[in-house]
Amino acid sequence: MKKGIIGKKIGMTQIFDEIGNVIPVTVIQAGPCVVAQKKTTETDGYNAIQLGFAEVKEKHMTKAEIGHVAKAGVAKNEQGNYETKHLKEFRLDDISGINVGDVITADTFAVGEKVDVTGMTKGRGYSGVIKRWNHHHLRMTHGTGPIHRQPGSMGVIDPARIFKNKKMPGQYGNEQVTVLNLKVVKIDSEKNLIAIKGAIPGAKDGIVFVRDSVKA
């Protein structure tokens, strides 16, 4: 990995290219992110930086969090708050030019670049097999009975048990998902906005992690 940033999903819209083609994009507020920690091969066994995103008041932080940012020497902003509400570690190939306190902004990426976006999907609660696994339902007439959305058979008589990985009702959504190889269509450096082609996981205002694509 060469670069990464923490962002917030603003929503989806569409933009037009030079020849008039419409492009569906997701707008992300990417940064500004402050470098809260720097790890090196000599001290930690690998190279990485920890980024902080979004403002948080000190009274809303735990003692451990306050001690962590104070030890790293992270400065407060003009309002006297830390920019470390959300922390995320990125393992980078080269961190020689990055120091604690540096600010990472949206212009880290370039138009046309391929990125991977990670986020938490929308939580849909306890769902049945039709919604969760896209199963068919039974016909609604001809005496079928009130079992249209039931999962049906759980297995065979012998062995008398349910096999692992059987698709059944349960918790649906609210899991970490990464979408690979998305194209950066537009960047607004002044407002720290990145427009990425296609959809990304999560609801509006959800926290996402953007990094250069592993398949690029």
**What tens digit of pLDDT does each residue of 169-197 get?**
999 999 999 999 999 999 998 999 999 99
List alpha helices for the chain, DSSP H: 41-44, 63-72, 129-133
- For the segment 98-124, the average pLDDT, to the nearest whole number, is 92
Q: What pairs with residue 116 in β-bridges?
A: 211
Is there a single domain that holds both residue 45 and residue 14? yes
Is there a single domain that holds both residue 144 and residue 103? no
What number of CA atoms fall less than 13 Å from residue 77's CA on the CB side?
Answer: 17
Is there a single domain that holds both residue 202 and residue 181? yes
* Per-residue confidence (pLDDT) for residue 26, from 0 to 100: 96
pTM across the whole model: 0.87
Is there a single domain that holds both residue 101 and residue 68? yes
Judge whether residue 73 has pLDDT over 80: no
- For the segment 119-133, the average pLDDT, to the nearest whole number, is 96
C-alpha pair distances (Å), 131 with each of 16, 82, 123, 126: 34, 42, 13, 10
pLDDT grade for 91, boundaries at 50, 70 and 90:
very high
List the CATH number of the domain containing 26. Answer: 2.40.30.10
Instruction: Give CA–CA dist 156/97, Å, rounded.
Output: 62
Domain count along the chain: 2
* Per-residue confidence (pLDDT) for residue 121, from 0 to 100: 95
Is there a single domain that holds both residue 189 and residue 114? yes
Q: 158-193: b or e for each residue (b if 16 or more CB lie within 10 Å)?
A: eeeeeeeeeeebeebeeeeeebeebbbbebeeeebb
The 3-state DSSP class for residue 177 equals: strand
172 or 82: which leads in pLDDT: 172
Is there a single domain that holds both residue 136 and residue 59? no
Is there a single domain that holds both residue 156 and residue 186? no
Is there a single domain that holds both residue 157 and residue 192? no
What domain range includes position 135? 124-172
- For the segment 23-34, the average pLDDT, to the nearest whole number, is 92
- For the segment 86-109, the average pLDDT, to the nearest whole number, is 89
Is there a single domain that holds both residue 115 and residue 189? yes
What number of CA atoms fall less than 13 Å from residue 26's CA on the CB side?
Answer: 24
Is there a single domain that holds both residue 59 and residue 99? yes
Q: What share of the chain has pLDDT > 70, as a percent?
A: 100
Judge whether residue 216 has pLDDT over 80: no
List the CATH number of the domain containing 133. Answer: 4.10.960.10
Is there a single domain that holds both residue 53 and residue 154? no
Is there a single domain that holds both residue 34 and residue 74? yes
